[in-house]
Structure 1
Amino acid sequence: MNKPVFDSFWDFYPYYLKEHSHRVCRRLHFVGSALVLIELAWIVLTANWGWLWLLPLTGYGFAWVGHFFFEKNKPATFQYPLYSLMGDWVMFWQMLTGRTNKFRGE
């Protein structure tokens, strides 16, 4: 199967949202992203730079549980790493600001 080609992030984002249609998957992404921000703040405030390795483990750990156990699909990160990372933060911001009308079934 050929992977879709996207000309821009905003062309990719509807595909990203479709790959995150399960509510629990989105919530796990949100929790992982929030924890990443908390961890990053702690690392910066305490100058414990050796803990930076924890950030991707936390963020992707929560997200991948959502994909493998709830969405039952492969994370978009494997095919579109940069766009997927951008999508994580756009979706996080939309959820944080209550713009969930962008999601189906909400």
Structure 2
Amino acid sequence: MNKRYRSFGEFYPFYLSQHQHPVCRQLHFIGSSLVLLLLGVALVTQTVWLMWLIPIVGYGFAWVGHFVFERNQPATFQYPLYSLMGDWLLFAQMLKGGCKR
């Protein structure tokens, strides 16, 4: 992962290459769904401490996918913003039925 990506469009194919195992993608989807659920519950109930769980849940599911199923290092460590953007784009594509590889 020595290449420096200058744009998200350039980065996203690499991101997808690091998320080929279907269980890894499913874990990302579950984590992202739970992040949205936690955010919604925290906002509706005004329970601020739930916000602390968001990165734990989001990254927890994703990192299990990487370390156990993909057997690679999450791109988050080197490309945090692009990886976060990639997570949400992958989530949206999976909602639409795409990215099933």
> What TM-score do you get using the length of structure 2 for normalisation?
0.96
What secondary structure sits across from 1:56 in the alignment?
Answer: helix
| Matched-pair identity in % | 57
Instruction: Tell me the residue number matched to 1:86.
Output: 85
1:2-17 paired onto structure 2 within 5 Å = 3-17=2-16
Deviation readout 1:11-65 (Å, 9 max, x if unpaired) = 0000000000111000000000000000100000000012211000000000000
Instruction: Tell me the residue number matched to 2:19.
Output: 20
Read off the aligned partner of 2:73 and give its amino acid letter.
K
Inter-partner Cα distance in structure 1 for 2:46 and 2:82: 29
Alignment gaps of 5+ in structure 1: none
Read off the aligned partner of 2:78 and give its amino acid letter.
Q
Instruction: Tell me the residue number matched to 2:29.
Output: 30
Read off the aligned partner of 1:4 and give its amino acid letter.
K
Instruction: Tell me the residue number matched to 1:58.
Output: 57
Read off the aligned partner of 1:68 and give its amino acid letter.
F
Inter-partner Cα distance in structure 2 for 1:99 and 1:30: 12
Read off the aligned partner of 2:61 and give its amino acid letter.
F
> What TM-score do you get using the length of structure 1 for normalisation?
0.92
Inter-partner Cα distance in structure 2 for 1:39 and 1:52: 7
Read off the aligned partner of 1:44 and give its amino acid letter.
L
Query: 1:85 Cα shift?
Result: 0.4
Inter-partner Cα distance in structure 1 for 2:42 and 2:17: 34
Inter-partner Cα distance in structure 2 for 1:12 and 1:26: 17
Structure 1 residue ranges, 4+ long, deviating more than 3 angstroms after superposition? none
What secondary structure sits across from 1:73 in the alignment?
Answer: coil
Q: What is the aligned residue count?
A: 101
